[in-house]
């Protein structure tokens, strides 16, 4: 019985010591409790030519009035390219001679990945939100 009383008595102290040790370790290693905010959010819409739907997605995203810096990219195949994507910051058309193992939208995703690397948008502080041309993300 006295052992159970001692365990119950010292358990909160053990928890407090673990919290303190974790806080000291985080401070010593320089780790933050929350990851830093991204310096840029790329909202990438991959499509095969659903122009009206993509324009509606762009309108809704612009209507959210996001606080963080962001760009909206539309990535498409050359046979589905159109200049009528209203409100997109950038239209990325996959070149016809681009070679990879994937096809259709996956081919466009691979090209856009290499495009981001080429433009140095592949660091920890750039986040990419992949949006398909048949779905709309919420503001959150």
Residuewise pLDDT in 10s, the chain (140 residues): 778 887 888 888 889 999 999 888 887 777 666 666 788 999 999 888 788 888 999 999 999 998 889 999 999 888 766 668 888 899 998 888 888 887 777 888 899 999 999 999 888 889 999 998 888 888 88
Q: Are residues 64 and 30 in the same domain?
A: no
Q: Domain range spanning residue 54? A: 40-132
Q: Are residues 120 and 88 in the same domain?
A: yes
Q: Has residue 137 been placed in a domain?
A: no
pLDDT number for residue 49: 77
Q: How many CB atoms lie within 10 A of CB 22?
A: 11
Q: What is the CATH number of the domain that holds 58?
A: 3.40.50
């Amino acid at each position: 019985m006295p052992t159970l009383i001692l365990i119950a008595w010292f358990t909160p102290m053990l928890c407090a010591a673990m919290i303190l040790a974790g806080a000291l370790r985080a401070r010593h290693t320089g780790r933050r409790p929350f990851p830093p905010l991204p310096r840029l959010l790329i909202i990438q819409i991959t499509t095969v030519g659903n122009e009206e739907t993509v324009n509606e997605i762009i309108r809704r995203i612009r209507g959210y009035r996001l606080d963080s810096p962001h760009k909206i990219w539309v990535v498409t195949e050359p046979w589905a390219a159109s200049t009528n994507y209203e409100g997109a910051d950038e239209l990325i058309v996959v070149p016809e001679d681009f070679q990879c193992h994937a096809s259709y939208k996956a081919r466009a995703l691979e090209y856009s990945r290499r495009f981001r690397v080429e433009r140095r948008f592949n660091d920890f502080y750039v986040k990419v939100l992949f949006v398909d041309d048949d779905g709309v993300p919420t503001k959150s």
